[in-house]
Amino acid sequence: MSYLPFFVVAWILGVGLYGIVTSRHLVHQIICLIVVQSSTYVLLLGVGYVTGAVAPYFYDIPLHTPAVDPVVQALALTDVVVEAAVTALLLAFAIQAHKRFGTLDPHELVELKG
């Protein structure tokens, strides 16, 4: 168990990149980019976890109860917002590209070459 989450992180990163590289559809490629980014959430929350500790909310539990790291959770939240922002922008590019090229296959979206 001790390193399982980190192996999962590496696996998610690997399949995400594989999806990007073999993709024939831009929207598919964007979704694979989301998968690549999801590996960072698992990694962030994985490194900040403490066995047997509670979530860092002290509303109804006493202070000084051992809690997991709140900082990585804040970082992961920022990360989620970044993901949403980048995805929205990429989708806008894809929609316009489809209008101009008539296809979403990255192999045919080549105006610039060489």
Largest CA distance in the chain: 64
CA distance 52 to 64: 14
CB of 7 to other proteins, least distance (A): 7
Least distance (Å) from other proteins to the CB of residue 83? 7
At residue 55, what are phi and psi to the nearest 5 degrees?
A: -70, 150
**Residue 20 half-sphere exposure toward CB, CA atoms < 13 A:** 12
Q: What's the min distance (Å) between Cβ of 103 and other proteins?
A: 8
Q: Binders of other proteins among 8-37, rule CB under 8 A?
A: 8-37
Residues 71-110 that bind other proteins (CB under 8 A): 71-104, 106-107, 109-110
Residue 91 CA to residue 97 CA, distance in Å, equals 10
Instruction: Return the residues of window 47-66 that contact other proteins according to CB under 8 A.
Output: 47-59, 61, 63-66
